[in-house]
């Protein structure tokens, strides 16, 4: 699972720090379901530097650039990519496809 790979590599470059939490951004159009991801992570993190880590997921709703309003607006839903303010169909998605690790909380290992 690549969240683990990303986090382990990051931790290693910082002197094998213990990972306390991994912050993720998951867009509603990314096709990833947070619940499924969380349960997969539970299994995959065992015996890694992330054994005690927590996933902190930021749910990213879909935003579009609305040509009518001339600015970024929240979309109605993923089924209807229209501006939630004026109803104009706005195909230019500006947010909601994210699937990324944005930050990590690290704790240095005890120095013996």
* Binding footprint of other proteins on the chain (CB under 8 A): 1-3, 6, 10, 14-15, 17, 20, 24, 29-32, 78-81, 89, 91-93, 99-108, 111
- Residue 66 vs 104, nearer CB to Zn ion: 66
Among left, alpha and beta (phi > 0; psi -120 to 50; other), residue 51 is alpha
CA distance 96 to 89: 16
CA distance 49 to 106: 10
Q: How far is the CB of 47 from other proteins (least distance, A)?
A: 19
CA distance 16 to 91: 44
> Binding segment for Zn ion among 13-21, 27-35, 57-65, 82-90 (CB under 5 A)?
82-90
Residues that bind Zn ion (CB under 5 A): 66, 68-69, 83, 85-86, 88
């Amino acid at each position: 699972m690549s969240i683990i790979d990303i986090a382990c590599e990051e931790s290693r470059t910082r002197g094998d720090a213990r990972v306390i939490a991994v912050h993720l951004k998951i867009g509603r159009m990314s096709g990833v379901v947070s619940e499924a991801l969380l349960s997969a992570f539970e299994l995959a993190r065992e015996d890694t530097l992330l054994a005690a880590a927590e996933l902190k997921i930021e749910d990213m709703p879909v935003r579009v650039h609305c040509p009518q309003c001339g600015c970024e607006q929240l979309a109605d839903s993923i089924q209807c990519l229209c501006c939630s303010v004026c109803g104009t169909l706005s195909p230019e998605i500006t947010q909601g496809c994210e699937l990324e690790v944005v930050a990590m909380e690290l704790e240095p290992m005890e120095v013996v």
